[in-house]
Amino acid sequence: MSASMESSMFTPHKYFLAHISLDCVVFGFHENQLKVLLAKLKGRDEWGLPGGFVGIQETAEYAASRVLKERTGLDQVFLQQFYVFSDPDRGEQLKEVESLKAISGSAIDIEWFKQRFISIGFYALVEFSQVEPTPDVISDACQWWDLAEVSKLMLDHNLILQKALETLRLQLNYQPIGYNLLPATFTMPELQRLYEAILGKQLDRRNFHRKITGYGILKKLNERRTGVAHKAPDLYSFDLDKYHQALKEGLQGGW
């Protein structure tokens, strides 16, 4: 975290808009599992989503990308707002004095955290291997969690995560997904595992192949993945022109 960001937490009201926060649901994909990036707040046992605040001259989108850059090291990730969480009691947990003691040592403005926040939910799709999970000044850990192993999170973050996943599943119906979650080259079975992980259900190998190639967003490379057991699968990459065109114009049909 930059020096200016450090100082911004001493006097946050000078740098950020009051009452507005954002939470990022960062999805990654590794070993056939959908992962989500979580941070552990100092002095609390619970984990939560990486979050932040909106600078007085930032858009919410820019603020989210800044937070993401700080937590993952990544620029230019796929990032999209999906819902606003505005229950007046959603921050009650944080207001307990005990919860804030641990972070008060670092001269951070505790009063800032006691105000009511309306939080804008963003979700991000990132390439797992490229991420360097990094805690911020108010958290003492930051790491990937298997989606299936996420238990009770702080505040309403379980709700936010659930809503993000729902949105992602809907997204799958009219937008291509994968460029942001997979390495530059990948095999058809890997792409299928990604879709299965997001949807939470098995898909037919042959029908998946037909449907996904039908979108015309894939380029088949003249290579195969070697060294694996069994038949070597073909390698693919995304045709970025057509991929972005499909992002804009939408796809047909659902899963």
Which residues of the chain form contacts with a second copy (CB under 8 A)?
17-20, 54, 56-61, 81, 83-84, 86-88, 116, 118, 120, 170, 174, 252, 254
Of 32, 205, 221, 223, which lies in the binding site for DNA, with binding defined by CB under 7 A?
A: 205
Q: Which does 207 bind (CB under 5 to 8 A by kind): DNA, a second copy, none?
A: DNA
Rounded Cα distance between 253 and 255, Å, is 7
Q: Which does 204 bind (CB under 5 to 8 A by kind): a second copy, DNA, none?
A: DNA
Could you tell me the smallest distance in angstroms from the CB atom of residue 148 to DNA? 20
Could you tell me the smallest distance in angstroms from the CB atom of residue 193 to DNA? 9
Q: Which does 118 bind (CB under 5 to 8 A by kind): DNA, a second copy, none?
A: a second copy
Tell me whether strands 16-30 and 51-55 are parallel, antiparallel or unpaired.
antiparallel
Rounded Cα distance between 29 and 185, Å, is 14
Q: Which does 145 bind (CB under 5 to 8 A by kind): a second copy, DNA, none?
A: none
Rounded Cα distance between 55 and 216, Å, is 40
Residues 72/37, Cβ–Cβ less than 8 Å:
yes
Q: How far is CA 15 from each of CA 8, 59, 104, rounded to the nearest angstrom?
A: 6, 13, 19
Stretch that binds DNA, among 2-10, 93-101, 112-120, 206-214 (CB under 7 A): 206-214
Binding of DNA by 222 (CB under 7 A): no
The two three-digit tokens of residue 12, written as one number = 């946050």
Residues 126/26, Cβ–Cβ less than 8 Å:
yes
Rounded Cα distance between 52 and 79, Å, is 15
Binding of DNA by 185 (CB under 7 A): no
CA atoms within 13 A on the CB side of 250: 7
> Which positions from 103 through 162 interact with DNA, judged by CB under 7 A?
none
Rounded Cα distance between 180 and 240, Å, is 11
The angle at the Cα of 65, spanning 55 to 93, to the nearest 5 degrees, equals: 65
Binding of DNA by 201 (CB under 7 A): no
Q: Using the minimum distance from each CB to a second copy, give the nearer residue, 87 or 111.
A: 87
Binding of DNA by 6 (CB under 7 A): no
Count of residues near DNA by CB under 7 A: 23
Q: Which of 218, 162, 161, 142 is nearest to 186 (CA)?
A: 218
Could you tell me the smallest distance in angstroms from the CB atom of residue 109 to a second copy? 17
Q: Which does 234 bind (CB under 5 to 8 A by kind): a second copy, DNA, none?
A: DNA
Q: Using the minimum distance from each CB to DNA, give the nearer residue, 94 or 251.
A: 251
Q: Using the minimum distance from each CB to a second copy, give the nearer residue, 83 or 215.
A: 83
Rounded Cα distance between 255 and 206, Å, is 14
DSSP character at residue 148: G
Q: Which residues lie near DNA (CB under 7 A)?
A: 187-189, 204-207, 209-211, 214, 224, 226-234, 252-253
